[in-house]
Structure formats: structure tokens, C-alpha cells
Structure 1
């Protein structure tokens, strides 16, 4: 999962980098492995700064001032394909044709075929293992076919339509064409989110920004926020906005895990408030607790695992008639353990990240509420922490159903044998994490918790729960390849082998010491 932004200012003397930097900070929850910004100045010259680490680590005031230009795109990354080396940091750039910059959130399921096509037929060099670079080169190759000195909107739409036919999977993309403008588009099923908005006035002119989540648009003063539709492409230049629906026959199926975990609660995605969806998840989960434990249950207190589950836990406690308490205090300077590369790193950081208060646990039967249970590593540590400070019984409730299948559309969900629910019953999962009982949300209840706020969403990508992949082209062979390449040991080996080829840059061809 990654966060993407693109900005074009009405004032050609403005510096886009400042707003992009602030926007990336607001999307930091979507990726903590790397960050990058590329801007476009006068005469189409590009300026960049990117590298591994959090937004605050990659950029300083001097670097931001050197990122001149009123157009730019930004990216925060966590790795799904490729490694965690500097060379994987986005945005990516190709100089031919026209100078194209690209940032991407998602994952392609036919990357191997595209890599072969680009090598043998298009003769385009791909420098990394990232499928984002594949998307960029497919787009660039399609634009190259025009053979024109200058391109127009029709050429861009034609190139994106060709990309839709060639690239399969879940993806949201922002692109910048040097000296021209910015482009945003979304996969034909709308699996990965992207929206855009504007600020300013007709008299002074409008600034436009694309963002993975509406929260960045809201915080930076952008209004009239519109979700990019599945299979739709948007071109924004200083002359205005042009949109075109390029694919329209595929089922609209946004990723439901955005509402469960990834998105900030103050975001609205495809017309659904993430906050309201999580309240509804908590209410439905309370019903499930009552079905499994009965109305005469012995729960004394409801405690969330911060931060994502707080909203659901609050609503659940209200419906159960049990007090809601903050039993875990979070160190906010430790990253999200789910998106940390490497099992050892995740396990090591759980107790650094959370501290249990004995006051809320000692002598009590507690119901811990989390958004989901993935590997079980974090859950097991948290349950043990509750017991260490005196909890009598520890029940564990998940706002999401049991995760039994890998994600192929941009979430670095572990391989099946690394998922705690894979080939385990619910009692076996409870035993593994050390809980007295584990209670999972039912999938129909989760779907309804999201769909009720936008009835037009008749389907979601729920493949991690039911193994049904909405694009319909995920083969057993592809899943086997993922199993071999995504496990923690394979990732660790890739990171050890990856050359550190790119550091922080202020402009193309000028490396910063």
C-alpha cells in the first residue's frame, strides 16, 4: 500500500513542493519505507528528492526550497513488489518521450508478461523490480507510438486506454508530463482509491490536487472533492480539467481493507466515511460477541488496540453496555507494525510501540478489539502483555473476518503459511495467540457496514477473506510465485542483495552530499 499525490498550481511562480510535502505527511500511514517528490519548473526541467525513510527523514527545508516548480507529484511507499532499497523509491521518471514522471499505488498480476513485452518488443529498459516502473514504461511506450513532437489530450487518453488493456491488477496512478500537466487514473475495478479536488476561485484561478485519500485534500483546503471512477482518466493542465471514461464494463469493487485498516478515519473513500464504516463494524461485531458469548457474558471492560480499532471498539462497548477504556498507551514514534518489512522487526517493535496499564487490566476480564488479525505476531504479544499486568481473562475480537488468503492488488499480505488463520480453526487461532476466545466479524456484516453508506457499491474486493479475486485472472501459478517471493526470508535476501544506487537528489543529474 502506498500514498500518492499530484498537484498543479494556478500560479506559475508558486512552489508545489511545500503542499506536496505536507500532503505526504498526511498520507504517511500508507507507507513508511520511502518517500519522494519530483517537481517541474520553467522550460520543463525536473527536480527531485527521494529516499528511504519517513517523510520527515527524507526532506528538510533546504531541499524543499530547491524543488522548484508549480507542478509536482509525491509518493510514500511500503514495499509489495521489489525490495526496500533506495532504487525502489518513487516517483519514477523516463526522459523519453516528453519527460514522464509516475507514482503508483497497487500491484499488477501480469508483471512477468509485461516485463517480457517491454524487453523483447518495446525495447525499454526496466531498472528495478517494481511494477510501478512497468506501468510507467507501458504508458511511455504507448505515447511513443504517436511519433509526435507535441502531444494532446487525445493522445494521452489513447495511451491510457492501451495501458488498461495491457496492465491487469489493482492500481491508482498519478503522472506528470514535463511542461504539460498532471494525469490521474484508476484501475477498471476501482480497487485502489484516488480522488481529486480544487481550491481557489474562478477569478484567481484554481489549484488542483490528486490524492489517495480525501484527508490530504481537506487539510490543504481543497474542496469539491471527486473520486476518480474505475477505468476513468483525468487530465489537468493550466487550461482546466478533462475527464474520460475509458473502461466501463468491469464490476466496481473497491478494496474493503481500506475501510478496515489502511485509510484514516477522517477520509471519505468512494462516498463512504471511513469513520462511519468503522462505527458500523463495531456495532455488528458487538452483535457477534453477543451471539458467541451470550447476553450474560462476563466481560468487564472493552479495550482497543490503538489506533485503527478505536472507533469500532467505542461503538462495540456502547452496545455491550461495558466501559470503554484506553489500556494501551502508544509510542507514536514507532511505525505501523503491519507495514514494517520483516517479521523480526514487527515482533521487536510491538512492545516498544505499546505499553499496558495495569490499572485497566488487573483482576478484570477484558475484551481486546483490533481491526484484524494477520500474522498473529502482534496479537500474541498484546494478549501476553494484558496477562502480564493482571488480566484474568482475555477475549480478542477482530473487526474483520479471518484473513486466509494473500492480497494481490497492492497490500503486502503475507503468504498463506504466514497467515495465522491459514488452515487453523478459530479455537486454534485463539490458542496460538494465547486468548481465551477469539471472535471474528462475519464477512456479510463487514460488507454491509461499508455498503450501507453508499448503496451503489454492490461489491467489494474481499479476496483476503474469501479468496475470490475480482479481476478474475489470478492463477494458481501466480499465487505460487507470490508465495516464493513475498515471504519474509525472500524479502530479507532481496534487501541484502539490492544495490544502494539512489540517494537524495535536488535535481536530475546533481546529487546532494
Structure 2
């Protein structure tokens, strides 16, 4: 994606099922879990560069001994900062008493982060403050271990206002108006209730307060806590948490919008946002890594019991297709195949656009993340080309059927070149727009001499085109230096028309070139009343419950074909000072569903939101656009 879009966060939960002495003996280090945590977080670094945090819990610490430890950072390289801070404690010991660092019993008693339970988080802030207070994991502390709650998540809720009001009605006084604070206090409230219920039960049975604490830890029903907490949550989420006595959980939204995978054996339980990182870190096969089912929670009790339990009624699966197109690591087997298929399905459209003139067409990709779709696109073009070759050979008469003639036909191949190379040393740190744009224009270097001046068409595939600003300000100008006759930019994703509200930083309609193109077309064709009517309908819905709101913003696009909007986008994004013709080709929604059949979350492209809160968000986003409000739509 040439436009950088901030997106959802990453989580890692690790539970060691054996004592630390086991890992020292088998793997040569009691830090086995901590080392795996570092590796799993680094392998998911694509999911968060605004901050990182780690919590470690020591199970069965005696009273008076600290058992929860947290380290967070919002510095430039947060993962390194976090783990450097953790290891500073170990380095001091190693410097003076290196033998003690190999003693797991001593380490657990004396060293922070020498525990059996770890929770790591990578933050991608979609909105607002980037202070350390907003970096997960977040904590709700208490003197009773079973009331201590630590949360980290990959989520956005569309109805923070409702949950906030509920907390106030309960008599709470939340310290912040955020979905993180609301979720923490929401779960904490029902955790407190579950603790109190068990306390009364055991008290009535005659147990002492001291005995009751252990019994509560044994019998606490996390499934019930999560079921009651999540009843009002509208959004996409994967929430990981741990309790002070050693229970842990990861729960997923009932639509499966946000991803989560897990693996466990008799030594370890691991939950992450992405499957391939578990395969890499633990050297296991993909079939051994399970997907956490929508509406379910993986619950790990203090005693090591593991269960996957339903906490919300699963809805029609709407897992995010953008995960497949761009955000997740391409090393996942299924995602790799799907991205190739997205490219392959575009090949007939592209061949039509170039009139099958392969001799005068050069194919390439920008940025590097589009490489897999590029491979698929070229496979598709070769498949079509093979059919043409076969037809031409079969059409030859017996006199024409010579080795030279057949060789000429078989020699017809698409021209594939690496036309742009990103200069990774360049950093767009200048904030002044004019100077920054000049710097951006030099982020890519081009390979000169491979395009025939004013003859060749240059076909470039990208993952997706959201805002189009990078295309207009830099990439099209860079490609024009090669002097092609025409530049065709191909998006492996469909036109992004609607805001996201489930964790990705795409919440303002004015940021979408497809939306702005439709607005311009309405004005150019004398249909301004469509804009006025949609605004009026949105305003009339403004105070309705989210369940009653209709997405009238779809009417903005209804008068035009996808091709109409693509042509207008190309016109809007073409810089005035380049010579090449510019055309933009988008994937179709139909092809997206063919390529990603199990991940039908397409609200970015269709406006079909899986939760009622989605319609509320798009309604607010359109009002904000018309009224010139640059604020958050949810």
C-alpha cells in the first residue's frame, strides 16, 4: 500500500505449563518463555510501531512478594526498548553473580519477569494521544489476586458512549473516555461481581476469609465474566487478559472481524494475532495452529486446564478481508495463496486494458508488499497467453508449421522488470508539506533504460489505493521519468469507499479518493441534490439508536459505475506536470470474494457493516465531511 495506513494492533499471550526448572533443563534457559515472547513480538512488528508493552506474572508467589511486572515504551523502537529494560535486571546479576542467572528457582524469587505467564502488546494508535498511558497492557490492581486484571487488545468499539454511560450508571467514575478504559472497567466490574458472588457462597459454607481466596481462584468462572462483559460490545476485537492469581484468556468478537490463532502442547500455550509467527517461533506446522473461533474465548486456568468456550453467540462470519490483502504477514500459507489469486483474477482486465499488446507493455509493482499479487497477476497473464499461443499454432497451415514459426509464437512473453526500488535510507521526517513532498519524491529510485520512450505502457500493481496522495505527489512523477506512453496503476483491492471503525485508521471520508471522485462526479453531472439528500437523511438519523440507522451514504455511489469512478480518480490523481497518460484499475468485489472466500468482511468496499455501530459511524463520518469536522466518527 503506497499510502501508509495505521492499522490494528498485535497481541501475544504465553503460558508456560511447566516449572521454570523444566525449561532450564530442557532448553538450557529458564528464559524460554521470555525469549519466545520477544521473537513473537518482533515477528508481529508489522502490527504496531507506536508502542509496545509486556506484563509478566509469577504464579503462587508468597504474600509480600510482588508477582506482577510491567514494562512499556512509546519510543522510536519500542520492542527493543522494552526488552532492553527487562534485561538490564538480568545484566546486573550476570555481571556480579553469573551462576545465579542460571538458577531458575533463585530467578523466580528475585528477578522481575521471571514468571510463567506473559502478555505482550504492539500498539498501532488509530487516533489521538500516543502517550505511554495509552500503551497496553493496561492494569486494574487490587490486593486480592483474583481481582487483579491485566488487558491488552486489538480492538475498536463503535459504542464507547453506551458503555461509558453504563459504567456511570453502575456508580463508577471512569478516568478516561476511551474504549480501552471502558473495556477494562467493564470486565473489571463483572470480575468483581463474580468474586463477590463466590465469596458469599463460600462464606455461607463456613470457610474462613483466608481459605476463601484460594477457593475463589479455583472456581472463578471466566467464561461467565466474559459473557456478561461483552454483551454490549459493538466492534471488532481480540482481547487478551490475565488475572493476578494465574488465570488467563483471549476472547474474539462474534463476527470474527479481528484475527487470533493459538497453539498448545504439554509445555506451552501461545496465542497471537497471526498464525505464521507461531509456526516460526515454535517450529510447528500450520495444521497444528488453530484459529480462535468467533464469539469464543480460549481460557487457561491457573492449574493448566485449557478450554475454548463460547462467550457470545457467533454471528455471520465477517473476518476482515483487508487482513488478507495487506495487513497480515504474507508468510502465512493461505494469505500468500489469496494474494496471488487477487493478482491472477486481475489479469484478463489488464490484458483488455493494454489491448493484448505485450510487446509494448512492461509489468512491475510498487510497493514491495504488492509482490505476491504481482506474481499472481503474471501467472494469470501467462495462462491467457498460453491459450493464445496454442490457438496461433493450431491455426498454422501445414506449410506454415515450421520450427522458426512455432519458435516465434512461443517467444511471446510478458516483459517483467523491477522499475522502482525503495531507498530504505530515506526518511520522510520533514514536517513542512512542501519540503516533505520534495523528499517523498525521492524515496523510490527508478531503473532507467528499460522502457521505450513514449511507446511502452507501464503496468504497476499496488495492494490498494486509499487516499492516492503518494501516487499523486511522488510515484506517478517517479514513473514518468521513464517516459512511458501510458501508466496503468492496478489495485489488488477494490475501491475503498467507506470508513472503518474496527481498528484501522480509515475513519474520515475525505481521505478516500473514491469518495471524493464520486462527490466530484455528482457535482459535474448536476446531481448535487444527491449530496444534500444524503446529508439530510444522515442528520435525521443522528439521534436514533445504532440498530435503526441505515447507511444512506451508498446513494453517493449509486449513479456511477465502478469504471466511472476509476476514471475520475485517475483524472484527479494525475499530476499536471507529467506527460504519460494515467489509468487506474481496481479489483472487483466479486473477485475479492473469490480470492478470499472465508473472509467476507468487505465493509470498506460495500458499506455492508457487520455490526449496527458501523452504520452509525458512516452516518457520522458523512455529517463530519459536509460540516467540515475533522474529528473522530466514533
CA distance in 1, matches of 2:157, 2:85: 36
Mapping for residues 98-117 of structure 1, pairs under 5 Å: 98-117=147-166
Q: Is the 8 A contact 1:81 1:131 kept in 2?
A: no
Change (3 A) 1:87 1:488: farther
1:426 maps to what in 2?
Answer: 566
Alpha-carbon displacement from aligned partner over 1:179-236 (angstroms, at most 9, x marks no partner) = 313211100100000010125xxxxx32111000012201111642110000001112
Change (3 A) 1:279 1:264: same
2:50 maps to what in 1?
Answer: 33
Normalised TM-score (structure 1) = 0.84
| Post-superposition offset of 1:299 | 5.4
Mapping for residues 142-291 of structure 1, pairs under 5 Å: 142-146=190-194, 147=196, 148=199, 149=213, 150-152=216-218, 155-199=221-265, 205-221=266-282, 223=284, 224-237=288-301, 238-267=303-332, 273-291=334-352
Equivalent pairs, count = 471
Q: Secondary structure at 1:59's aligned position in 2?
A: helix
| Post-superposition offset of 1:274 | 0.4
Higher relative contact order (CA 8 A, sep 6+): 1
Q: Is the 8 A contact 1:346 1:378 kept in 2?
A: no
Q: Is the 8 A contact 2:160 2:178 kept in 1?
A: no
CA distance in 2, matches of 1:433, 1:488: 24
CA distance in 2, matches of 1:216, 1:472: 33
Q: Secondary structure at 2:313's aligned position in 1?
A: coil
Q: Is the 8 A contact 1:317 1:323 kept in 2?
A: no
Equivalent in 67, 70, 75 of residue 45 of structure 1: 67
CA distance in 1, matches of 2:179, 2:261: 22
Q: Is the 8 A contact 1:153 1:235 kept in 2?
A: no
1:496 maps to what in 2?
Answer: none
2:477 maps to what in 1?
Answer: 384
Larger deviation: 129-138 or 208-217? 129-138
Q: Does 2:495 match 1:446?
A: no
Q: Secondary structure at 1:176's aligned position in 2?
A: strand
CA distance in 2, matches of 1:346, 1:211: 36
Q: Secondary structure at 1:247's aligned position in 2?
A: coil
Q: Secondary structure at 2:174's aligned position in 1?
A: coil
| Post-superposition offset of 1:288 | 2.2
| Post-superposition offset of 1:355 | 2.7
Change (3 A) 1:108 1:414: closer
CA distance in 2, matches of 1:56, 1:158: 34
Alpha-carbon displacement from aligned partner over 1:134-167 (angstroms, at most 9, x marks no partner) = 2222111111112144245662100111122121
Mapping for residues 407-422 of structure 1, pairs under 5 Å: 407-422=500-515
| Post-superposition offset of 1:348 | 7.6
Q: Does 2:129 match 1:83?
A: yes
Larger deviation: 254-263 or 66-75? 66-75
Alpha-carbon displacement from aligned partner over 1:234-262 (angstroms, at most 9, x marks no partner) = 11245231121233341111000000110
Normalised TM-score (structure 2) = 0.69
Q: Is the 8 A contact 1:211 1:217 kept in 2?
A: yes
- Larger Rg belongs to: 2
1:356 maps to what in 2?
Answer: 446
CA distance in 1, matches of 2:241, 2:596: 30
1:141 maps to what in 2?
Answer: 189
Change (3 A) 1:222 1:243: farther
Change (3 A) 1:153 1:488: farther
Change (3 A) 1:421 1:215: same
CA distance in 2, matches of 1:169, 1:290: 40
Q: Secondary structure at 1:421's aligned position in 2?
A: helix
CA distance in 2, matches of 1:400, 1:275: 15
Alpha-carbon displacement from aligned partner over 1:72-121 (angstroms, at most 9, x marks no partner) = 11111111244222221111111146211111112101111112222342
Q: Is the 8 A contact 2:295 2:314 kept in 1?
A: no
Q: Is the 8 A contact 1:100 1:178 kept in 2?
A: yes
Alpha-carbon displacement from aligned partner over 1:427-474 (angstroms, at most 9, x marks no partner) = 1211222261100000010111011xxxxx3x6110110111011343
Structure 1 or 2: larger strand share?
Answer: 1
Structure 1 or 2: larger helix share?
Answer: 2
Change (3 A) 1:344 1:125: farther
Larger deviation: 62-71 or 413-422? 62-71
Q: Does 2:466 match 1:374?
A: yes
Change (3 A) 1:347 1:484: farther
Q: Is the 8 A contact 2:71 2:85 kept in 1?
A: no
Larger deviation: 118-127 or 236-245? 118-127
Q: Is the 8 A contact 1:209 1:222 kept in 2?
A: no
Alpha-carbon displacement from aligned partner over 1:452-507 (angstroms, at most 9, x marks no partner) = xxxxx3x611011011101134344674269759x99658xxxxxxxxxxxxxxxx
1:330 maps to what in 2?
Answer: 422
Structure 1 gap segments, 5+ residues each: 200-204, 452-456, 492-513
Change (3 A) 1:153 1:418: farther
